[in-house]
Amino acid sequence: MVNLKFVRAVCSMAMGLALCCAVPVIPVTEAAVLAKDHVVSAEAKDFLNKMSSALAEVGEAAKPSVVNISTTTTVEMGEQPFGDLFDDPAFKKFFGDNFDSLPKKKFKSSALGSGVIVSKDGYILTAYHVAQNAEEIKIILNDKTEFKGRVIGTDPQTDIAVIKIDARDLPAIKMGNSAEARAGDVVLAIGNPFGLNQTITMGIVSAVGRANIGISDYEDFIQTDAAINPGNSGGALVNTNGELIGINTAIFSTSGGSMGVGFAIPSNLANTVAQSIIKQGKVIRGWLGITIQDLSPDLAKSFGIKQDKGALVTDVMKNSPAEKAGLKRGDLIVELDGKPVENSVKLRNTVAGKAPGSTVRVKVVREGKPMALPVTIGEFPAAKPARKGELKKSEFDNALKGVSVQDITPELREGLSIPDEVKGVIVVNVSDEGPARDTLTKGDVIQEVNRRAITGLRDYESVVSKIGPSDSVLLLVYRNGAYIYVTLKR
């Protein structure tokens, strides 16, 4: 409604301008002559008509497979008769936090999304955030038939969910190969934006392999400029064959509406996750047991690596498939089963798609020498380490100037959830004027300095005191449950 009003306002303004301006009146005969000079050629009309017809045909083929999803969730909130007054620090100073224990009020919250039928017997693929915490799910098909849906399984790490309805002979969409998608390919996005059923928008594939966006843990998005709006989540992104190549999941927007930057989960990834949920009851991922990071020019120089692509191993977990195969910290993984490894994201996604128990051949560069190691893939463990908290002093005239560290006490280890095997010194402060201000942060554990192991403050002071004022420094840091290499320059 807001958009319609806006359009009407624009139209009215345009008419007002036309009335206010002195517009010359062109005689009918002269207008006819001018019109003849701008005739659309038969070839152009034929081309546009064929393109229009082709796109409509693609849309008609895919539309029956896209459904409207309506969810209902119970939300519980504390009743606050004084509104935001309870959040005022002055209020809490005098009255305390006892008002947080006021009775809770429950109410129903509804949300709309989209989904895609992927099997004739009622399995529907959608985005996890569409089905998240849903207590009631209503599915509306293209022919307006309604069904009650139930969640079969979800995978927050890829933002995928599988819903089931009790129905037969449904119009399942044809799966496409998302790996074949190229920037520039014409695509259609089909969904239910703002609750408007069966809406189709057209655009192109803007980019493939988008990662490090922060939407989910496993990212390999197809980016498109086809309009995606609230309610489109879980809908279909199809190619010109009417095949599903993506599940629409998110947009980049400063207004809440489409700005031409939308993201879809590739169909290959979405289908793998869905089939694992349907057949196994959970998502099974391959696992090597390493932490990795991208190779930067500074890291390559510090390690003496000539390659400019690959995934740098920052840690090898005990008793993991990688440790059993002989992988070591500092190895650069450049190939997996003969295919080049461009970066850490590609490696992680590729390994996750491997079946546990299968053997892969990993090519690494170790201290400048290439070697190949056979590794038996394990199953990704469900547990995920976490750390929370923040917390004395060490000063040197080099790249670590302004970085204050201390030994890891039992209290700090417990409070920051630092595993027993992690040794080193913990960063307690980083000066805003120091070289490390944008690289290190409170709670980081420095485990190595220039490839020298650090077990405590004494080791740290011994190594760092020998670093010159203009020397660059390579650090191995434990942060947020992961190991990363960072470089510092004065």
What tens digit of pLDDT does each residue of 221-241 get? 899 988 888 888 889 999 999
The number of C-alpha atoms within 13 Å of 322 and in the hemisphere containing its C-beta is: 24
Q: What is the rounded average pLDDT for all residues in the chain?
A: 80
C-beta separation of 235 from 195 below 8 A: no
Mean pLDDT value of segment 308-313: 88
Euclidean distance between CA atoms 205 and 215, whole angstroms? 19
C-beta separation of 168 from 147 below 8 A: no
Q: List the structure tokens of 385.
A: 């380490």
C-beta separation of 444 from 426 below 8 A: yes
pLDDT value of residue 15: 37
User: Is residue 414 exposed (0-12), middle (13-18) or buried (19+ Cβ within 10 Å)?
Assistant: exposed
pLDDT value of residue 390: 32
Percentage above 90 pLDDT, the chain: 30
Residue 255 bears catalytic tag:
no
**pLDDT tens column, 376-427:** 999 988 644 333 333 334 467 788 888 888 888 777 787 788 888 888 999 8
Give the model's confidence band at 458: pLDDT under 50 very low, under 70 low, under 90 confident, else very high.
confident
CATH code of the domain made up of 43-81+110-283:
2.40.10.120
Residues in the chain: 490
Domains 286-379 and 403-488 alike in fold: yes
Give the model's confidence band at 322: pLDDT under 50 very low, under 70 low, under 90 confident, else very high.
very high
155, 159, 220, 459: the catalytic one is 159
Residue 469 neighbours by CB distance under 10 Å: 10
Helix (H, G, I), strand (E, B) or coil at 334: strand
Per-residue pLDDT for 101 more than 90? no
65, 114, 216, 233: the catalytic one is 233
Q: Of 132-136, 206-210, 251-255, 290-294, which range is least confident?
A: 251-255
Architecture of the 286-379 domain:
Roll (2.30)
C-beta separation of 354 from 339 below 8 A: no
pLDDT value of residue 408: 86
C-beta separation of 479 from 444 below 8 A: yes
The residue type of 370 is: P
Q: List the structure tokens of 47.
A: 């081309």
Distances (CA, A) of 289 to 231, 381, 429: 38, 9, 31
**Cα–chain center distance at 458:** 41
DSSP calls for 393-460: ----SSTTTTEEEEE--HHHHHHTT--TT--SEEEEEE-TTSTTTTT--TT-EEEEETTEE--SHHHH
Q: List the structure tokens of 24.
A: 């010359």
Between 484 and 393, the higher pLDDT residue: 484
Distances (CA, A) of 44 to 40, 47, 240: 7, 5, 21
65, 70, 114, 129: the catalytic one is 129
- Residue whose entry in the numeric block shows the structure tokens 């980019």: 207
Residue 487 neighbours by CB distance under 10 Å: 16
Between 78 and 401, the higher pLDDT residue: 401
Q: List the structure tokens of 98.
A: 């006892």
> φ and ψ at 325, to 5 degrees?
-85, -15
Q: Of 115-119, 325-329, 455-459, which range is least confident?
A: 455-459
**pLDDT tens column, 435-457:** 888 888 888 999 999 888 888 88
Domain 403-488 falls in which CATH fold?
Pdz3 Domain (2.30.42)
Per-residue pLDDT for 82 more than 60? no
pLDDT value of residue 36: 56
Between 74 and 5, the higher pLDDT residue: 74
Give the model's confidence band at 31: pLDDT under 50 very low, under 70 low, under 90 confident, else very high.
low
Residue 159 bears catalytic tag:
yes
The residue type of 205 is: V
The domains of the chain are located at: 43-81+110-283, 286-379, 403-488
